[in-house]
């Protein structure tokens, strides 16, 4: 009785090895070639290839992004509640207060007149000794 169980177990083992050995060989070939793991190895086709691509680039701010700041501003806007738009020759300061919230469209059109083009801008936060003063939106030359 025990010999027949042992023979049956041996047949099952041989069948399992026959089925799973091709898979094991197929998936272990890249490991033996050294194509998996470690640094500077591209594992996926969509993975970044160089260290330069891994680091984030600062986002490019455009004039429309600054105008969008005015569109979404509400009474819960954090400090400083003021944007200063510096176009080529003109500037406009827009405080986000009750007057702005009542007549938002006029303030947005005024800011668009100062910066009419979809150009790249510098967005900087000016801070004074008494705290945050305003966001400065300036066109890049």
DSSP string, 113-140: HHS-S--BEEEEEEEETTEEEEEEEEE-
pTM above 0.75, yes or no: no
Question: Token pair for residue 140?
Answer: 């890049």
Residue with tokens 């500077």: 40
The arithmetic mean of pLDDT across residues 56-76, rounded, is: 83
DSSP secondary-structure letter at 62? B
pLDDT score recorded for residue 50 = 61
- Reported as a single tens digit per residue, the pLDDT across 1-37 is 567 788 888 999 999 999 999 988 888 887 788 776 6
Residue 132 has pLDDT above 70, yes or no: yes
Sheet holding 131-139, edge to edge: 91-95, 82-86, 131-139, 121-128
Maximum distance among all Cα pairs of the chain, rounded to whole angstroms: 101
DSSP H helical segments within the chain, as ranges? 2-33, 51-54, 63-72, 98-102, 104-114
The arithmetic mean of pLDDT across residues 35-57, rounded, is: 61
């Amino acid at each position: 009785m025990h010999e027949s169980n042992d023979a049956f177990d041996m047949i099952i083992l041989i069948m399992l090895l026959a089925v799973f050995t091709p898979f094991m060989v197929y998936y272990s070939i890249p490991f033996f070639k050294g194509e998996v793991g470690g640094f500077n190895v591209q594992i996926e086709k969509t993975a970044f290839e160089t260290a330069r691509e891994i680091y984030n680039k600062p986002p490019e701010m455009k004039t429309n992004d600054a105008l969008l700041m005015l569109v979404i501003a509400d009474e819960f806007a954090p400090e400083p509640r003021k944007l200063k738009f510096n176009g080529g020759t003109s500037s406009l300061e827009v405080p986000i207060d009750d007057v702005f919230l009542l007549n938002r469209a006029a303030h947005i059109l005024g800011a668009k007149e100062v910066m009419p083009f979809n150009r790249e801008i510098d967005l900087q936060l000016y801070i004074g000794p008494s705290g945050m003063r305003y966001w400065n939106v300036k066109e890049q030359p």
